[in-house]
Amino acid sequence: MSRLYHDLYERTLTDLWAHLPPEIEGGRIADLGCHDGVMSDILAATYPKSRVYGFGQSRLGMDRARSLSKAVSWVEMPPQGWADELRQIAPGGFDLLICQAGLPPQDSVSMIAERFRPHIKSGGRLMVQVPVTLNGWMAVLSGGVSGVGEGELKTYAKLT
């Protein structure tokens, strides 16, 4: 199971990469559910003029993330506090919010979009990955999660 998770984790990073917006420079980016900080570090390297925040709740994962990159601002706290922290960091909203592997498995994409819409500035982007559950991964791998959300929010499930 550990190897399966590792392979799927690497695959999610690859899948997200194709959907990263090219136009963010000097903005604010939040990686929600940053785990060990790999994606946050990639975001900091990809957008060096932007401020990247990695949110996580696992002490072990956040310790690993802190050792990986000094370019990212790490926020260690339970997900219940993320909304308040997002408001304090960027009252006007973020340019890019990435939610990957850090959300409750019962949350639907529309629930996630509704919860985080107030934290995205006009013209910003919300990118959502599936929760880390075997059922969640299997739903995406079988094409069970896809489509276009309302307004500017889009959901991508196309796999490489």
Per the DSSP assignment, residues forming a β-bridge with 73 are: 53
Tokens of 65: 């993330």
pLDDT digits (tens, 9 = 90+) for 86-106: 999 999 999 998 886 555 656
Cα distances (angstroms) measured from residue 71 to each of 53, 108, 112, 140 = 9, 32, 27, 32
pLDDT digits (tens, 9 = 90+) for 122-156: 888 888 765 444 455 455 455 444 443 444 444 44
pLDDT digits (tens, 9 = 90+) for 11-53: 666 667 777 777 787 899 999 888 888 889 989 988 999 999 9
Of the two residues 107 and 150, the one the predictor is more confident about is: 107
Say how far apart CA 68 and CA 49 lie, in whole Å: 19
pLDDT digits (tens, 9 = 90+) for 45-82: 889 999 999 999 889 989 999 998 899 999 998 888 88
- Evaluate if residue 111 carries a pLDDT over 70: yes
Q: Go through the domains of the chain in sequence order and give each one's CATH number.
A: 2-155 (3.40.50.150)
**DSSP three-state, residue 77:** coil
